[in-house]
Amino acid sequence: MATPLSADRLLKALRDEGLHVVEHRSWRTNNRNHKGPWGPTHGVMIHHTVTSGTTSSVELCYNGHSALPGPLCHGVIDKAGTVHLVSAGRANHAGSGDGDVLNAVVMETPLPPGNEADTDGNRYFYGFEAVNLGDGRDPWPAEQLLAIERAAAAICRAHDWDERSVIGHLEWQPGKVDPRGFTMDSMRGRIGKRLGGEPSKPPAVKPSKPKYEPFPGAAFFKVGRNGAVITAMGKRLVAEGCGRYAVGPGPKWSEADRKSYAAWQRKLGFSGSDADGIPGKSSWDRLKVPNV
């Protein structure tokens, strides 16, 4: 049993294990805590995304979809081995699974078959989605497998767990096949060897952030959305002479943001529904919002 890691401790644990970590948008407050408890935590669950492409996979895991609201995990591990953090709280990744499997994870004993769906796994497990089609043919690059090993080991090291606290979705929920393309026994073997030694040193030089914020998608800009990128956007709109703020700009999406962005769209020559104040990729790229 363990108290979930704070966002800061999660980030530090991953980086201390030698991982390149990207903090995606408002990941620290992106969670499903309003739908149920988060913690105590007992283990780490590995998945594959059934998608291709880093950007679209990270966005999907951050936002979810109509049938399954996001976030869909805590971190997305891309083909190059970068971990994109999308949540620091309860996430929709594990679903209901076998309580006997959970007990084995808690006790760090061999896993029984996962043949029941009687326990809420979203409460108890950290989840990592690895970008892979899951068809048995999509390759698993060495860098990606190493990142899965390191990410799981980082969590285990932070909680003083051993490798038996790491399971695959297929070992938890009946009917699941992920991760497909490597065995969890082989991955646990790698994690066990890593935990037997000292964590790797972080890279001496951290990769630089992109100069400008990538377009987060039109669905991001809605009532209730809160994030530093919205403040940065507002400041750029003011600099372009399009600010329509009585106070601000600030981090919470507001009607003033929409009116200001509509002014920017009109400045670029858009009109009608194309100047409705909801950012599109073309206008966003031309605004050049500094990376936050």
| 254: number of Cβ within 10 Å | 18
CATH architecture of 7-195: 3-Layer(aba) Sandwich (3.40)
Asked if 283 and 226 count as a contact pair (C-beta separation under 8 A), the reply is no
Q: pLDDT 10s per residue in the chain (292 long)?
A: 599 999 999 999 999 999 999 999 999 999 999 999 999 999 999 999 999 999 999 999 999 999 999 999 999 999 999 999 999 999 999 999 999 999 999 999 999 999 999 999 999 999 999 999 999 999 999 999 999 999 999 999 999 999 999 999 999 999 999 999 999 999 999 999 999 965 444 444 445 556 889 999 999 999 889 999 999 999 999 999 999 999 889 999 999 999 999 999 999 999 999 999 999 999 999 999 998 7
How far apart (Å, rounded) are the C-alpha atoms in residues 163 and 172? Answer: 16
Residue type, 260: S
DSSP secondary structure letter of residue 220: G
Q: How open is the CA angle 130-41-191, to the nearest 5 degrees?
A: 50
Mind listing the pLDDT tens digit for each residue in 63-91? 999 999 999 999 999 999 999 999 999 99
How far apart (Å, rounded) are the C-alpha atoms in residues 115 and 100? Answer: 9
Mind listing the pLDDT tens digit for each residue in 160-207? 999 999 999 999 999 999 999 999 999 999 999 999 965 444 444 445
How far apart (Å, rounded) are the C-alpha atoms in residues 13 and 4? Answer: 12
- Tokens read off for 232: 């940065």
Asked if 154 and 195 count as a contact pair (C-beta separation under 8 A), the reply is no
Predicted model pTM: 0.69
Beta bridge partners of 45: 127, 167
